[in-house]
Amino acid sequence: MNYTIKSPDSLKASVKLPASKSICNRALILNALSYSPYEIRNLSDCDDTEVMVKALNSKDRDFDIKAAGTAMRFLTAFLSKVVGEWTITGTERMKNRPIKILVDALNALGARVEYMEKEGYPPLRIFGSALQGGEISLAGGVSSQYISALLMIAPLMENGLTLHLEGVVISKPYINLTLQLMEQYGVKAEWNGQTIKVRPQDYHPIPFTVESDWSAASYWYSMMALSKNAEIELLGLFKNSLQGDAAGAKLFAQLGVGTTYTDRGVVLKHNGNRTKKLNYNFVNEPDLAQTFVVTCVLLNIPFRFTGLQSLKIKETDRIEALKTELRKLGYLLTDSNNSILEWNGERCEPQAHPVIATYEDHRMAMAFAPAALVLPEGIEIADPQVVSKSYPHYWKLTISCRCLEVHCQLLIVNCQLLCGILL
């Protein structure tokens, strides 16, 4: 199934954003580690969170987390300290996403985790037991989820954990998010320079409510940037957010979108300012990169984005995916060092009827959808259901808020999806 996305006559919306997936997944682990009697309020209904909830509430010993990379990493660490024998697997793509760094670290700390098929990749067999803990070193340039997975179980290790991060540390806001949430559950850590120390201690259960997702907000910011006349309000966002992706508000200010904070969330307005070229290091906000790449080229704003090394190991190789799909629209991007992506205005002949592939990647679908606001014939998105991973109601909201017109293409039939059908 494909969706053809077209621009509406006007864009006016007040949007209830999904809960932060990053906070949900960490809170679920911490809730379980604290043996909390409280249910987490405002949990996301995205795929990642659903598989986490199912696994944590299940009496099974075999878990299929589908395409949920966060769940794979967090649950691998969690199960390694739960007494018993467990297996964890996922989609074919998941079976090709590396996990060796985390497995090696866990085994060095007293765990026993084995590969069931290919060395360095899921599926895994986990023999859970009490973990000795201790002192290890880890490259700072790896996915922050490996680091967060280790940190969350660290206080329950016999000797705690001293984690030395080597080289440049990427995605620091996500590590800070983990440590801040751990502190809310009663565990304190020390982060000095390149070393994080977590002493043995107990978590304490607390009532917890998840805030709205700043990553999801970025797609609405993109719509605002690409529209001529629009009014958009995003509910449930806070100025002093724990989420690193809240930095997107300041960055979008350079693309002409101003942010006003209210007691309900934020209101977006055009500020009349657009930079001539955008240079930015996304090492701390990698999940925003796709949105800014697509938005910049459609605004004809050259860019040089660095700090993208983690994009190579996401749901797909996002750097290559962006280059491939934007070429279909007539834009030639270049990359270097597996971490830099740039565009200096280079163009090519666009395809007559491009279809944007999504590569089983939710962010590819949502990053490209706003292009319909500037492309005369709209844009066609393949496998749009991938948004369920983080934002299941994305298409429903764009229609119900009249921000985008969505048409369904099934086989050779083209029929408009009415709000009542989609909702």
pTM value is 0.74
Q: How confident is the model at residue 401 (pLDDT cuts 50, 70, 90)?
A: low
- Is residue 287 annotated as a catalytic residue, yes or no? yes
Per-residue pLDDT tens digits for 347-390: 999 999 999 999 989 999 999 999 999 998 899 999 999 998 88
What tokens appear for 308 in the block? 């993208």
Per-residue pLDDT tens digits for 78-126: 999 999 999 999 999 899 999 999 999 999 999 999 999 999 999 999 9
Bridge-based pairing of strands 230-235 and 195-198 is unpaired
Per-residue pLDDT tens digits for 272-288: 999 999 999 998 899 99
pLDDT mean over 282-304: 96
Q: How confident is the model at residue 328 (pLDDT cuts 50, 70, 90)?
A: very high
Q: How confident is the model at residue 251 (pLDDT cuts 50, 70, 90)?
A: very high
**DSSP-derived 3-state class of residue 208:** coil
Q: How confident is the model at residue 238 (pLDDT cuts 50, 70, 90)?
A: confident
Q: How far apart are CA 369 and CA 380, in angstroms?
A: 8
What tokens appear for 245 in the block? 């992706």
pLDDT top residue among 290 and 12: 290
**Taking 60 as the threshold, does the pLDDT of residue 417 lie above it?**
no
Name the strands in the sheet holding 11-16, side by side, starting at the edge strand that comes first in the sequence: 11-16, 230-235, 265-270, 257-261
Per-residue pLDDT tens digits for 179-213: 999 999 999 999 999 999 999 999 999 999 999 99
Q: Concatenated DSSP letters for 276-287? A: SSEEEEGGG-GG
Amino acid making up residue 34 = S
Q: Concatenated DSSP letters for 9-24? A: S-EEEEEEPPBPHHHH
Domain boundaries, the chain: 2-18+212-411, 21-198
Active-site residue, from 47, 213, 245, 287: 287
Which H or E run contains 178?
helix 172-184
- Residues making up the chain, counted from first to last: 423
Domain 2-18+212-411 sits in CATH 3.65.10.10: yes
Asked whether 77 and 102 are in contact (CB, 8 A), the reply is yes
Q: How far apart are CA 145 and CA 151, in angstroms?
A: 10
What tokens appear for 57 in the block? 């509430």
End-to-end CA distance of the chain: 17
**Taking 60 as the threshold, does the pLDDT of residue 330 lie above it?**
yes
Letter string b/e over residues 295-311, b meaning 16 or more CB atoms within 10 A of that residue's CB:
bbbbbebbbebbbbbbb
The answer for residues whose C-beta is within 8 angstroms of residue 112's C-beta and 6 or more apart is 80, 126, 127, 129
One fold for both 2-18+212-411 and 21-198?
yes
Question: What confidence score (pLDDT) does residue 229 get?
Answer: 84
Asked whether 245 and 284 are in contact (CB, 8 A), the reply is no
- Which superfamily, per CATH, for 21-198? Enolpyruvate transferase domain (3.65.10.10)
Alpha carbon separation from 343 to 175, 318, 327, 346, 379 (Å, rounded)? 30, 15, 12, 7, 21
Q: What is the mean pLDDT of the chain?
A: 91
Asked whether 2 and 385 are in contact (CB, 8 A), the reply is no
Question: What confidence score (pLDDT) does residue 346 get?
Answer: 98
Q: How far apart are CA 371 and CA 374, in angstroms?
A: 6
Alpha carbon separation from 298 to 111, 140, 193 (Å, rounded)? 49, 34, 40
**415 pairs with which residues across the strands?**
408
Bridge-based pairing of strands 257-261 and 265-270 is antiparallel
